[in-house]
Chains A and B, each alone.
Chain A
Amino acid sequence: MIRFDQVTVTYPEAATPALTEVDLTIDEGELCLVVGSTGSGKSTLLGAVNGLVPHFTGGRLDGSVVVAGRDTRDHPPRELADVVGTVGQDPLAGFVTDTVEEELAYAMEQLAVPPTAMRKRVEETLDLLGIADLRHRALRTLSGGQQQRVAIGSVLTLQPQVLVLDEPTSALDPTAAEDVLAVITRLVHDLGLTVVVAEHRVERVAQHADRVVLVADGQVTIGSPAAQLEGSPLAPPVAQLGTRLGWSPVPLSVRDARRHAAPLREQLEPLAPPAHPGAPGHVVVDARRVSVQHREVVAVREVDLQVRAGEVVALMGRNGSGKSSLLWAVHGAGPRHGGTVAIGGADPADAPRPAARRLVGLVPQTPSDLLYLATVAEECAQADHESRSPDGTCEALLRRLVPDLDPTRHPRDLSEGQRLALVLAVQLTARPAAVLLDEPTRGLDHEAKERVAGLLAELAAAGHAVVVATHDVELAATVAHRVVVLAEGEVVAEGPAAEVLVASPAFAPQVAKVLAPLPWLTVDQVVAAVAASGSRA
């Protein structure tokens, strides 16, 4: 269905090609997962399938890409629209019309599908994706998972043979991601669609994939998921657990792993998982009965939140459950309609700005909103100036986070992870007692995510109180001491991370699902315990 033949892609003004002599064949009806770190050439590979590379992005493509018998050399993306459907990471940014029904019809209008056929296909697609009740809704009012399903539907109406999805679930909470993945697997199984999907959250897709394409430094390998992911740092936690405990074949789903895990559970039964290092200190953040209201909607309702020095608290809950509103209310920059917040005894909303910055720092969901200067160095200097810190404080911080960052680069040219580090450095320049982060791992690859996890642990170790709102259950499992789960603006669960995460079907990390009901959260914990008990025996 898709054939790459000696494909080399070079972008203008790039020293090295983004893809080098790639040979790849993807057969009809396959669900093919593309994994690789940021900048590995993953997006280029996807773009080459739908023709955006090089027709839209510029650059030079040597070799040939043939999709459903059409050479992308002679067919720009619009001429491939009836064989390749493309869905991006942010569905809202790709919508052309206002309502669900019009959006589904848009691509068909472009291809001059007769009106009667259009009407029929819109109805069929609405049913296929289970969104018939949303047909008249405005796209902007839909939830993230619904928007992503509409985006998939809007390309399905052309009845393509290939579906290309670039990070379809990275902005979604775990439950919404499940919805979207269920739709995708259904399309593969029922309609025989060939699906190429890139995803950083490998654990969500690996079990559904027929084959896995690994992209690294412009080189591409393809193979069965088990073979490709065995021993890879990109592998999902179940596969890592299997690899390190020598299970064969390497499990890719919780179900497979549980079959292997019976003896392991017996072995771990008498042991207690290690507690997080470092005893939390005194209470730094003391928020009581905080309420936030957006017009008629109560976003946060009388929530109490205490965070101690040296403690990482993970805020979890589906999209729209009030996580961000709570963070902003605690910070003082967002609205708060009730309750009190004391950070180190003072309310940051009342404190003058420079003093407030020493109390609390917030890294928002889109960190780039904070950046407006032309170079990294200027941003750092501005941060020093704003927080009345000695010159060079911010830059020193940044060097510790990202050692090899060129200070003359434009902040917009940085990778997501580097930009996050820059904003974090800017916010840490004032040395706030409490650090709040909103979805810090969104759009990050595995390596950057590990760095963030390490960073959060070190912030806590240095005595900061850290609150992180996240959908990323593996991140929460790795770093959080305590977890607070919000729903409809209220706290529905709160307690030590192991207790809360293991008990929740949506937020349990893979290791916990494999070992339930035992309270183990991460691969490292389990492997260390097994090694210890093995040496004792």
Chain B
Amino acid sequence: MARRAPGRNLHPGAWWLWAIALATAASRTTNPLLLALVVGVVWLVVDARRSEAPWARGFKAYVVLGLVVIAIRVVFRVLLGGDSGGHVIVRLPELPLPEAAAGIRIGGPVTAEAVLGSAYDGLRLATLLLCIGAANVLANPKRLLKAVPGALHEIGVAVTVALSVAPQLVESGQRVRRARRLRGEGGRGRHLVREVAIPVLTDALDRSLFLAAAMDTRGYGRRAAVPAASRRLATGLVLGGLVGVCLGTYGLLDSTSPRHLGLPMLLGGAAAAWAGMVVTGRRVVRSRYRPDPWRTAEWGVAGTGLLVAVVVAATGSVDATALHPSLSPLTWPTLPLLPAAAVLVGALPAWIAPPPPPPAASTPNPARPEREPVTAGAPLPAPAPPGGRSPSVPLPASTGAAVPEASR
């Protein structure tokens, strides 16, 4: 075990595999106890292995998002109840609807079955979100882009650039908003959008043209000569393969779809896409600077994730009731032992993954930026000028006086 290994960043691919595997497992069950266990495991690992980097601070946002998802799910189900029968908890006033809207009902009786069912569903979705959030928090998304295969390199760069554009947009938006105050009150509403959006967008366009030129002069987009036939073959393989991967993922996540749509489709698609990328990758001539290594710890993290997914999925196909607690009749959900043990194995990365390197090495020094950042905002109220005399502004007598003669 790499417990005492010096800090290093785990390969981002390992974190993503682990997180996606946990998400797959979560998607296979509505058992609230099991889902809560997954949430706990994810939380534990994030807490143990996240770094001090800026991208690692967003986990709370995912938690909030998850709670919102559950709330929305339940509220909609309560409002648009549908008459399914069961134990009525409360009876809401029903909104009369015209004949045309037959089958839709707003308000009416709220049953325990409906509320519980939607809460379970919401919890499942929230768990999925949390798994993806964990991956985002644990692995630098930009390093993941660096690790993409050669064929996707250019897309990877495009995404990287887009990611760096976002903070720039925010910055120039602030700058322009500040500048608006210089012109007095200016316009409102529709004008406001125009006054801010136009300078910001033109600024962004100028920047992107400049960046494109800079990248061009630094060798971006160099290609090796490859015959057209093999290029077409590669494109076909990649496209077909990706479609296969999409269908396969859908099949895998949706337990009601036919069996052959799941894993076989996913594997076949992945193989085709991989072959296509190998062929395409020959066109892209580039090397990688200090790539993240894939060592035992990476195998361990990805492996524990896969184990969780496989055990939960297998349990699902043997004993579906263990993963989907019955709603009619209403019963207390029980914790199925084998899947629960598997999910606990998913917590191992909190120990087997190497700790992230200390902040000094992995994160930028939050030194103060060079350009004086002036944040927009109302200044604190300043004391009134002494004396309180009436403003006697020495205005230049006329426009002519204020204006210098046209010179030269």
Chain A interface residues (CB < 8 Å from chain B): 50-52, 55-56, 76-82, 84-86, 88, 90, 93-99, 101-102, 105-115, 118-119, 122, 136-138, 140-144, 147, 154-155, 158, 281-282, 284, 292, 294, 297, 299, 309, 319-320, 322-325, 328-329, 331-347, 349-350, 353-354, 356-359, 361-362, 364, 366, 368-372, 383, 386-387, 389, 393, 396-397, 399-401, 403, 412, 426-428, 430-431, 433, 450-451, 454-455, 458-459, 461-464
Contact = CB atoms under 8 A, between A and B. Distances in A.
Given A110-B219, A347-B384, A458 B405 contact: yes
A369 B287 contact: no
A442 to B, nearest CB: 12
B403 to A, nearest CB: 5
Contacts of B172: 369
B370 A158 contact: no
Given A115-B289, A141-B365, A347-B384, 8 more contacts: A96-B218, A107-B218, A110-B220, A341-B382, A347-B382, A358-B395, A401-B406, A463-B402
A284 to B, nearest CB: 6
B371 A349 contact: no
B389 A88 contact: no
Contacts of B372: 294, 299, 319-320, 322-325
Given A337-B380, A386-B186, A455-B404, A109 B368 contact: no
Interface stretch (B15-23, B94-102, B177-185, B309-317): B177-185
B164 A350 contact: no
Contact of A387 (B184, B363, B365): B184
A218 B169 CA distance: 36
A354 B364 contact: no
A353 B221 CA distance: 51
A430 B184 contact: yes
A273 B181 CA distance: 42
B199 A82 contact: no
16 contacts: A81-B218, A93-B210, A96-B214, A112-B285, A136-B361, A294-B375, A319-B372, A320-B372, A335-B379, A336-B382, A344-B392, A346-B393, A358-B393, A359-B391, A431-B396, A463-B402
B287 A113 contact: yes
A108 B379 contact: no
Contact of B392 (A56, A345, A370, A459): A345
A323 B371 CA distance: 10
A363 B103 CA distance: 64
Interface of B: 142, 157, 160-161, 164, 167, 172, 175-176, 178-186, 194-196, 198-199, 202-203, 207, 210-222, 285-291, 360-387, 389-396, 399, 401-408
B382 A350 contact: yes
Contact of A81 (B210, B219, B367, B392): B219
A96 B289 contact: no
Nearest 10 pairs between A and B by C-beta?
A: A458-B404, A138-B364, A105-B289, A94-B214, A81-B219, A344-B393, A369-B179, A110-B219, A346-B391, A333-B181
A21 B210 CA distance: 27
Contact of B184 (A140, A357, A463): A357
B198 A372 contact: yes
Contacts of A338: 380
A464 B402 contact: yes
Contact of A325 (B215, B289, B374, B385): B374
Nearest to B182: A362
A463 B391 contact: no
A368 B205 CA distance: 14
B330 to A, nearest CB: 53
A204 to B, nearest CB: 19
A349 to B, nearest CB: 5
Contacts of B179: 364, 366, 369-370
B175 A369 contact: yes
Nearest to B404: A458
B183 A386 contact: yes
A223 B390 CA distance: 63
Contact of A344 (B195, B215, B371, B391): B391
Nearest to B195: A372
A98 B142 contact: yes
B132 to A, nearest CB: 22
A299 to B, nearest CB: 6
A134 to B, nearest CB: 9
